[in-house]
């Protein structure tokens, strides 16, 4: 028999749809690119809701369930407001460094974290209509969604001390800010490499994680292309 992985890239997408028995092996391809199983499951969840005859009511129910899950996982901060969710690249050393800056300066305990690649991260991205492979930090605050430089600066704006002053950089036009953000983002692995186990196991960070994810070194979709 021929596995999906042996098919040429243009054929993989249709091969994954046609080879029903192989789906049980949790190998998924989207547009010829292998994707993590949890990413495909999130896609299928949304596709199922949209294809349903009562798609509107089904979609509303799924959104309500996810919103309820988030409310339970996030809770409220010490000043009584709903916590913010920060989604970040679970392989990125720079991203974990950013979390290490945020946590000790978040005296009001406002932020919780999850990798973009985690099951919860993928579900939230699908819910908010964002690409499941988005290459950006994402901030969810009071049902608002911020990405790229706007996400980073809004997070910094809620921290203690001089770090919050960096939020004034939002006066710079967003296209210029995002250009600088993307220049750093695209070269972050070249500059700093992947996250270390020491970074990922820091107790002050793991205590604030609402979902986790571990990269599979044998999965080609997890190979850095920066």
Residue with tokens 């985690």, as numbered in its chain: 118
Residue position matching structure tokens 């190998």: 27
Q: Is 21 a residue whose pLDDT tops 90?
A: no
20, 27 in Cβ contact below 8 A? no
Mean pLDDT along residues 29-44: 55
* For residue 47, pLDDT beyond 90: no
Quick one: tokens of 166? Answer: 């960096």
Higher model confidence: residue 102 or residue 143?
Answer: 102
Q: What is the pTM of this model?
A: 0.74
State pLDDT tens for residues 172-194.
Answer: 999 999 999 999 999 999 989 88
Phi first, then psi: give them for residue 10, nearest 5 degrees: -65, -20
What's the whole-number average pLDDT of the chain?
81
CB contact at 8 A, 122 and 114: no
Residue 145: strand pairing partners? 140
CA atoms within 13 A on the CB side of 109: 11
- Would you say the C-alpha torsion 9, 48, 125, 109 has a positive or negative sign? negative
Strands 111-115 and 84-88 come out as: parallel
Give the span between the Cα atoms of 139 and 145, in whole angstroms: 6
Span 57-75, mean pLDDT?
87
pLDDT tens for each residue of 115-135: 999 999 999 999 999 999 999
């Amino acid at each position: 028999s021929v596995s999906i992985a042996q098919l040429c890239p243009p054929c993989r997408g249709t091969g994954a749809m046609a080879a029903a028995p192989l789906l049980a092996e949790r190998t998924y391809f989207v547009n010829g690119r292998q994707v993590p199983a949890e990413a495909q499951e999130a896609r299928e969840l949304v596709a199922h809701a949209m294809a349903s005859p009562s798609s509107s009511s089904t979609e509303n129910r799924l959104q309500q369930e996810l919103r309820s899950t988030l409310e339970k996982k996030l809770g409220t901060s010490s000043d009584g407001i709903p916590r913010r969710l920060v989604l970040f690249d679970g392989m990125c050393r720079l991203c974990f460094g950013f979390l290490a800056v945020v946590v000790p300066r978040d005296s009001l305990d406002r932020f919780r974290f999850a990798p973009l690649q985690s099951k919860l991260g993928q579900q939230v991205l699908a819910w908010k209509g964002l690409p499941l492979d988005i290459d950006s930090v994402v901030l969810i605050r009071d049902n608002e969604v911020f990405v790229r430089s706007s996400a980073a600066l809004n997070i910094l704006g809620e921290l203690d001390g001089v770090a919050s002053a960096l939020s004034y950089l939002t006066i710079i036009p967003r296209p210029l800010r995002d250009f600088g953000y993307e220049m750093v983002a695209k070269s972050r692995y070249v500059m700093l490499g992947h996250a270390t186990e020491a970074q990922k196991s820091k107790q002050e960070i793991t205590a604030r994680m609402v979902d986790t994810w571990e990269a599979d070194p044998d999965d080609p979709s997890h190979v850095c292309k920066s």
